[in-house]
């Protein structure tokens, strides 16, 4: 298992290096940040001096080396727009995005797995048809449209939930959380549903398809022949084997929730990293964009590594194959 983990770590480092190089190259084409930082009447001499101060006149190789060195040290420089260290801006917005992704993932898992299990066991019931219809709607509607509809219903018409912002937060060390206040929890409901609805439908359909496949296998037929109860068969045998691919998808989707929270954060003006990224794109703030992309890549790699380790713990066959190779 140690050799398997080391191999996965080496692959993860290669992925991060590739993402870093791509981020550096791609963000060279988003526009000249100097034009965003100065006015139209700024003299050419001041523009040249500013480019030199930012290191934009250095050769590309020098800039890339400086960027990679800073990324290793979690130092992405100073924001061109707000003149603050990028790592401080990310750290300030990071808790909001993580809490939103966590709430959306909990919503997707808590509802998606039971719905998938039920529709897999009771395929022809009317409740299963309702669940599948809801999942079809959830997977078909764009995220921004879901958010707008929820705002219109619960904020405009009913007036029971806030339509924007994070609500009141509590400072605990370096972490600012909205989980400990009523207004923070109320502000979290609509964005979490909006972000997690698509993931919930994905989990529901995946669990359903896996349950249908597992229930047709020979060992389930053997368990029935032994006289085991349906409860023992469904939850003691079928569900346990269904969770292996489900864990992979859920783990990867958590990374997707963090990466693609941009639309949800924009619709609800949620003060997270996604909204910060949109603002940095509008202002050609290259250090912030690069830091955001690197952080998302790091979270994806970390989550994927944890999922791989869980895979080995759940399915011993992977451990055997990994040791043999």
Residue 249: pLDDT band with limits 50, 70, 90? confident
Say what the pLDDT of residue 20 is.
85
What tokens were used for 261? 């929270």
Which band of pLDDT confidence, cut at 50, 70 and 90, is reported for residue 193? very high
Top-confidence residue, 42 or 206: 206
pLDDT at 214: 81
Query: CB–CB of 71/20 below 8 Å?
Result: yes
Backbone phi, psi, residue 145, to 5°: -70, -40
CA distances, 98 to each of 16, 158, 170, 261, 306 (Å)? 20, 28, 15, 10, 17
Q: How far apart are the first and last CA of the chain?
A: 11
Task: Check whether 325 has a pLDDT greater than 50.
Answer: no
Once rounded to an integer, what is the mean pLDDT over residues 114-140?
85
**Among the CATH numbers 2.60.120.10, 1.10.3720.10, 2.40.110.10, 3.30.499.10, which is that of 94-282?**
1.10.3720.10
Lowest mean pLDDT among 90-99, 117-126, 213-222, 263-272: 213-222
Residues of the chain above pLDDT 70, percent? 92
Minimum mean pLDDT among 33-47, 73-87, 155-169, 263-277: which range? 33-47
Between 145 and 80, whose confidence is greater? 145
Read off the pLDDT of each residue in 229-239 and give the average, rounded to a whole number. 76
Confidence of residue 150 (pLDDT cuts 50, 70, 90): very high
pLDDT at 194: 92
Model confidence at 238: pLDDT above 70: yes
For the chain, the structural domain boundaries read: 1-81+291-325, 94-282
For residue 321, is pLDDT > 70? no
In Å, what is the CA distance from 201 to each residue of 100, 116, 128, 249, 300? 18, 9, 13, 12, 21
Mean pLDDT of 69-84: 81
Q: What would the mean pLDDT of 170-197 be, rounded to a whole number? A: 89
Query: For residue 42, which phi and psi values (nearest 5 degrees)?
Result: -65, 130
The arithmetic mean of pLDDT across residues 230-245, rounded, is 75
The pLDDT of residue 247 is above 60: yes
State percent of the chain over pLDDT 90.
9
Q: How far apart are CA 10 and CA 78, in angstroms?
A: 30
pLDDT at 32 over 80: no
Burial of 100 (0-12, 13-18, 19+ CB in 10 A): buried
What mean pLDDT is reported for the chain?
82
């Amino acid at each position: 298992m140690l050799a398997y983990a080391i191999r996965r770590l080496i692959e993860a480092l290669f992925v991060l290096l590739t993402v870093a190089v791509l981020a550096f190259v791609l963000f060279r084409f988003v526009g000249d940040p100097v034009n965003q930082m100065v006015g139209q009447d700024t003299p050419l001499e001041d523009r040249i001096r500013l480019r030199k101060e930012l290191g934009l006149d250095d050769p590309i190789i020098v800039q890339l080396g400086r960027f990679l060195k800073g990324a290793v040290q979690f130092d992405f420089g100073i924001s061109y727009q707000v003149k603050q260290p990028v790592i401080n801006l990310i750290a300030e917005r990071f808790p909001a995005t993580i809490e939103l992704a966590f709430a959306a993932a909990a919503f997707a898992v808590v509802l998606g797995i039971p719905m998938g299990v039920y529709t897999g066991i009771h395929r022809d019931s009317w409740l299963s048809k309702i669940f599948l219809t809801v999942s079809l709607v959830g997977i078909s509607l764009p995220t921004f449209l879901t958010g707008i509809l929820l705002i219109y219903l619960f904020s405009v018409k009913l007036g029971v939930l806030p339509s924007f912002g994070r609500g009141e937060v509590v400072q605990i060390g370096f972490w600012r959380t909205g989980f400990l206040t009523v207004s923070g929890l109320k502000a979290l409901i609509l964005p979490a549903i909006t972000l997690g609805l698509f993931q919930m439908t994905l989990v529901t359909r995946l669990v359903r398809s896996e349950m249908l496949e597992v229930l047709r296998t020979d060992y389930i037929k053997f368990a029935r022949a032994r006289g085991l109860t349906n409860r023992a068969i469904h939850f003691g045998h079928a569900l346990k084997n269904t969770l292996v691919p489900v864990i992979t998808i859920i783990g990867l989707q958590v990374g997707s929730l963090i990466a693609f929270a941009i639309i949800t954060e924009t619709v609800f003006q949620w003060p997270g990293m996604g909204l910060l990224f949109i603002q940095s794109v509008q202002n050609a703030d290259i250090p912030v964009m690069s830091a955001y992309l690197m952080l998302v890549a790091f979270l994806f790699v970390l989550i994927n590594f944890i999922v791989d380790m869980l895979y080995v713990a759940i399915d011993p066959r992977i451990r055997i194959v990994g040791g043999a190779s």
